């Protein structure tokens, strides 16, 4: 993706993030920057220069509140995408999309789902402390996740992903796509302790590493991100070291750019920073 095009994409995503932040601030909902977005805030005070997406996290309780409020209050420029609002969408987390734009990942090129430019919103759930229970819960979740993905018109280019999706679709033939996600959500949100020590993003790319002390969801600070203040875990240094090690050192050039296999982008008449 050309540098100018990438910057346009980042500014579009920032618009979505500011609308997300507006709703959360208005209703006192806690959220926090996560993953590469948190890294970008700390290291670059904004997007990592070659990054093409933005991720935020919320506890499951705050996430469910946000979905209900956003369904009523989200600016009409945007679309709240869940498996309930978009029949062709098969993920158990939410995306906020810009209407009348296109940002396609390689596996959604032929999908009928809303493929607008997006912000990812991930729920964080209680994490089992017992290692065996953690693995069993994760693998149960993973099978249902891929069963749901396999029941859509997604076209995975990676042979292993395509094979696993087809296999899980066949194994869970008695479940619809929505039933798979309903069941998966109950597994993710299963309570383990009245005061959980850790919470986890089951949907994260880093699998078992996408966890944090539960207090990180409550003890928040604000970090500058593209000229705006966004909430982040106060102990962001610990989280970033856990995920990236020496996170202030830039990766080699060959590991930068198009990390999410984006294949098509169109913004139409949309103008970042204002209404079309």
Angle between helices 131-150 and 177-188 (to 10 degrees): 160
pLDDT in tens, 119-169: 999 999 999 988 899 999 999 999 999 999 999 999 999 999 999 999 999
CB 53 within 8 A of CB 238: no
Pair of tokens at residue 134: 């953690």
How far from the centroid of its chain's Cα atoms is residue 202's Cα? Answer: 10
Q: Which pLDDT band holds residue 276 (cuts at 50, 70, 90)?
A: very low
pLDDT in tens, 26-56: 999 999 999 999 999 999 999 999 999 999 9
pLDDT in tens, 209-243: 789 999 999 999 999 999 999 999 999 999 999 88
**Can you give the pLDDT at residue 268?**
92
Q: Tell me the C-alpha to C-alpha distance, in Å, between residue 259 and each of 49, 105, 167, 219, 255.
A: 12, 10, 27, 30, 8
CA distance 276 to 274: 7
Q: Which pLDDT band holds residue 275 (cuts at 50, 70, 90)?
A: low
pTM beyond cutoff 0.85: yes
**Can you give the pLDDT at residue 3?**
74
CB 12 within 8 A of CB 117: yes
Query: To 5 degrees, how large is the angle CA 173–CA 177–CA 178?
Result: 130
pLDDT in tens, 71-118: 999 999 999 999 999 999 999 999 999 999 999 999 999 999 999 999
Domain-located, residue 274: no
Range of the domain at 211: 3-266
Rg of the Cα atoms in the chain = 18
Domain-located, residue 275: no
pLDDT > 70: what percent of the chain? 97
Angle between helices 131-150 and 159-171 (to 10 degrees): 90
CB 248 within 8 A of CB 43: yes
- Mean pLDDT (the chain, rounded): 93
Pair of tokens at residue 215: 């207090």
Q: Which pLDDT band holds residue 258 (cuts at 50, 70, 90)?
A: low
pLDDT in tens, 8-24: 999 999 999 999 999 99
Q: Is the pLDDT of residue 198 over 60?
A: yes
Q: Which pLDDT band holds residue 256 (cuts at 50, 70, 90)?
A: confident
**Can you give the pLDDT at residue 99?**
97
Three-state DSSP class for residue 204:
coil
**Can you give the pLDDT at residue 23?**
98
Please report the DSSP string for 106-127 in residue order. GGGTT--S----EEEEEEEEE-
Domain-located, residue 276: no
User: In the chain, how many domains are there?
Assistant: 1
Give 117: exposed, middle or buried? Use CB within 10 Å, 0-12, 13-18, 19+.
buried
């Amino acid at each position: 993706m050309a540098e100018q095009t990438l910057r346009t994409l980042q500014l579009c995503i920032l618009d979505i993030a500011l609308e997300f932040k507006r709703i959360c601030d208005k209703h006192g909902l806690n959220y926090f920057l996560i993953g590469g977005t948190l890294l970008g805030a700390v290291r670059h005070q904004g997007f990592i220069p070659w990054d093409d997406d933005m991720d935020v996290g919320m506890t499951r309780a705050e996430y469910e509140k946000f979905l209900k409020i956003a369904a009523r209050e989200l600016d009409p420029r945007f679309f709240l995408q869940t498996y309930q609002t978009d029949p062709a969408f098969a993920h158990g987390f939410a995306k906020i999309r810009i209407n009348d734009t296109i940002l396609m990942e390689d596996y959604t090129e032929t999908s009928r789902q809303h493929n607008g430019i997006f912000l990812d919103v991930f729920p964080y759930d209680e994490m089992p402390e017992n290692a065996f229970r953690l693995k069993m819960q994760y693998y149960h979740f993973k099978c249902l996740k891929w069963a749901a993905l396999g029941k859509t018109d997604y076209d995975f280019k990676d042979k292993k992903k395509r094979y696993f999706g087809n296999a899980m679709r066949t194994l869970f033939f008695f479940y619809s796509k929505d039933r798979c996600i309903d069941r998966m959500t109950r597994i993710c949100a299963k309570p383990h302790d009245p005061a959980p020590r850790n919470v986890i993003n089951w949907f994260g790319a880093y699998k078992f590493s996408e966890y944090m002390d539960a207090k990180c969801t409550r003890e928040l600070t604000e970090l500058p991100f593209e000229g705006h203040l966004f909430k982040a875990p106060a102990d962001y240094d610990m989280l970033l070291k856990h995920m990236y090690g020496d996170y202030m050192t830039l990766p080699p050039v060959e590991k930068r750019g198009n990390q999410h296999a984006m294949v098509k982008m169109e913004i139409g008449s949309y103008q970042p920073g204002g209404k079309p």
